[in-house]
Amino acid sequence: MNDTRRMLAEMADPLFAELGPGATMERDWPRIEELGLPQLLVSEADGGFGGSWEDALVVFRLAGFHALALPLPEAIIASRAEEGSDTHFLLGAFARSAQIAGALDAALGIAVAYVNERQQFGRPLGKFQAVQQSLASFACEAAAANCAAMGAAQALDRGEARFEVAAAKLRANRAVGIGTNVAHQVHGAIGFTREYGLHELTRRLWQWRSDFGGDAHWSKVLGEAVIARGADAFWPDLTARTDPEQRD
Amino acid sequence: MQTFATEAIEWPDTAVQLREQVRALVAEHGEGDPVRRANCWTKADPAFSRKLGEAGLLGMTWPKDYGGHERDQLERYVVIEELLAAGAPVGAHWIADRQSGPLLLRLGNEELKRRWVPAIARGEAFACIGLSEPGSGSDLASVRTSARRDADEWVINGQKVWTTGAHVSHFMIALIRSEAGSERQAGLSQFVIPMDAPGVSVKPIIDLTGAHEFNEVFFEDVRLPASALLGEEGQGWRQATAELSLERSGPERYLSSMVLFLKLVRHAEAHPDPAVRDLVGRLAAEAWTLRLMSASVAAKLARGEDPALEATIVKDLGNSYEQAIPELVQAAVEMDLAGEEALARVTAYLLQVSPSFSLRGGTREILKGIIARGLGLR
């Protein structure tokens, strides 16, 4: 992470943690505006922060991690695309991928802490192999969602990113299924209560899976694109997306 | 909690040129049969390995003094992902180029390095790894094959099993108990054993497809010079496990069924079907993600870090992916599995070999245990 992004994270993390799922527009939005976060992607010439999509990834991910109940990702995207446009839909999908990645990491952290604490049969739940293996699967899914979101951010910074955002949202969507399932399963009944905060993450994850394209939408888009290009183009296309331009 | 730190990967400037070189070479000398292109890193073709050696594509990162080419780790990554995606028959040299060469360069004495490393880089010396034994699979610390000192020599007795490629290999790097009466991880050492040493015998194990890829290897009073000890006596466990990130996160952990995915795309081009289209989309998204994850670990390794947890995650996810493909393809497309059509033949083959994907190089259960420990459980 470069210095700009570290600074962004150090600024956003404590504020989002404080505001979290209980935030309200009336009371808390001015604090978000004070930091200039809605103008993250607006150029410095126009009074913004002049940030990149990798910078936005940091903010979106932390918003997801802390289940921030403010429409900050929406505001950031609105500075780049008109609502209802294809580009807006694509950028929304990217934002949700990043929020999902953050919320999965948060839910995983809560689940791990819980099973190390909760005792049954005379030992912590985390000592049972069945519980360990479930959480390991969850960790793999969270890792995949995070890597996919990063890949999409890099592609957006390079330019055309339809394939990458579609792939990242689809991958993140699929991670939601396993992640929320395991997070609740290892918590037992307590995770199902309003009082315990797990639902602040999991209910958002379920919502975000459908926002800006669910699994069916993005698998159709990706499948059509890959088939239209043909089998012989798949691998060359995939590598060309990341290879540096050839310098003759 | 962030279990997989992500950051931009700097792909080498030479990537495009290297890909063109590999694609041309595979087009000329690669494997034509789609079944042989599946799971291709177990398919040994010594002539193809020598071609790669001649082209400077083996031992790419090693010192020139030992026959290497002093390229960077990501340049090597580009080459191996191209070979695997194309289904090239890389099985003969795979282990030597990936593990044995680097291990010899890191820990070997001059005699061992001179004898083996340049020959690996030429594609002329192939290696196998002696880990599993009849009583020692996932529980690797229970190995019983012994090395006993006799004056200036070591005398090896015992047996290894499931040794991939022992029958085409020129040497084995084996984990052996060198201290009589020692237990578990203590008292183990690594030895470099020429496969033509008197007292070494190899017996094939035929797999369920009828193929001969792995073997039993027997050692009967095999006498080795003192120089056959690799690294430090008694440090075999640490040495053998230190290499695992290298072994676990490579593109071979998710690309074994790529040829079948491509056959599925080819099928969908001619036979439009929403279910197949959606499956293609989903599998493409997964391939794209896994490639980033695997390359991200390679970039960390290149910087000298040891991303052991990330590497384990890549292997577990990658194996599950390449293992799921044949089953998903079978469920999505009506086919005659015993028929002659390429899609069916590759599906039938991969259905049979894919159970091994989550066994080789550490079982799914062992990997998940390692990930759990990385999460702070246990």
Which of B105, B125, B145 terminates a domain? The answer is: B125
Label each residue of chain B as H, E or C.
CCCCCCCCCCCCCCHHHHHHHHHHHHHHHCCCCHHHHCCHHHCCCHHHHHHHHHCCCCCCCCCHHHCCCCCCHHHHHHHHHHHHHCCCCCHHHHHHHHHHHHHHHHHCCHHHHHHHHHHHHCCCCCEEEECCECCECCCHHHCCCEEEEECCEEEEEEEEEEEECHHHCCEEEEEEECCCCCCCCCCEEEEEEECCCCCEEEEEEECCCCCEEEEEEEEEEEEEEHHHEECCCCEHHHHHHHCHHHHHCCHHHCCCCHHHHHHHHHHHHHCCCHHHHHHHHHHHHHHHHHHHHHHHHHHHHHCCCCCHHHHHHHHHHHHHHHHHHHHHHHHHCCCCCCCCCHHHHHHHHHHHHHHHHHCCCCCHHHHHHHHHHHCCCC
Q: How many domains does chain B have?
A: 3
Q: Write out pLDDT tens, residues B169-210.
A: 999 999 999 999 999 999 999 999 999 999 999 999 999 999
CATH number at residue B281: 1.20.140.10
Measured CA to CA, the distance from residue B81 to residue B34 in angstroms comes to 18
Tokens of B297: 């670990």
Residue B11 has pLDDT above 50, yes or no: yes
Q: Write out pLDDT tens, residues B94-138.
A: 999 999 999 999 999 999 999 999 999 999 999 999 999 999 988
Radius of gyration, alpha carbons of chain B: 21
Q: What's the rounded mean pLDDT across residues A157-161?
A: 94
Interchain CB distance below 8 Å, A144 and B375: no
Note the pLDDT of residue B354: 97
Average pLDDT over all residues of chain A: 96
Query: Between A105, A235, A243, which is nearest B2 by CB?
Result: A105
Residue A81 has pLDDT above 80, yes or no: yes
Indicate the SS3 state at residue A124: strand
Instruction: Answer whether residue B4 is part of any domain.
Output: no
Interchain CB distance below 8 Å, B369 and A221: no
Give the chain A residue whose CA is nearest to the CA of B8. Answer: A154
Note the pLDDT of residue B132: 95
Residue A156 has pLDDT above 70, yes or no: yes
- CA torsion A25-A27-A31-A33 (nearest 10°) is 40
Give A216's contacts in chain B (Cβ within 8 Å): 278
Give A146's contacts in chain B (Cβ within 8 Å): 2, 4, 6
Give A239's contacts in chain B (Cβ within 8 Å): 15, 19, 78, 81-82
Q: Chains A, B: CB contacts under 8 A, how many?
A: 187
Least confident of B7-21, B118-132, B212-226, B273-287: B7-21
Looking at the fold, whether B118 and B134 belong to one and the same domain comes out as no
- pLDDT tier for residue A246 given thresholds of 50, 70 and 90: low
Fold designation for A103-241: Butyryl-CoA Dehydrogenase, subunit A; domain 3 (1.20.140)
Looking at the fold, whether B28 and B81 belong to one and the same domain comes out as yes
Note the pLDDT of residue B247: 79
Q: What's the rounded mean pLDDT across residues A188-197?
A: 96
Residue with the larger pLDDT of the pair B266 and B247: B266
Note the pLDDT of residue B248: 83
Note the pLDDT of residue A248: 47
Looking at the fold, whether B28 and B49 belong to one and the same domain comes out as yes
Residue A247 has pLDDT above 60, yes or no: no
Q: What's the rounded mean pLDDT across residues B5-22?
A: 92
- pLDDT tier for residue B306 given thresholds of 50, 70 and 90: confident
Which of B106, B125, B144 terminates a domain? The answer is: B125
Measured CA to CA, the distance from residue B10 to residue B304 in angstroms comes to 15
Active site residues of B: 247
Tokens of B235: 């440090």
Instruction: Answer whether residue B97 is part of any domain.
Output: yes
Q: What's the rounded mean pLDDT across residues B339-368?
A: 96
Q: Write out pLDDT tens, residues B319-349.
A: 999 999 999 999 999 999 999 999 999 999 9
As for the ipTM of the complex, it is 0.97
- pLDDT tier for residue B7 given thresholds of 50, 70 and 90: confident
CATH number at residue B72: 1.10.540.10
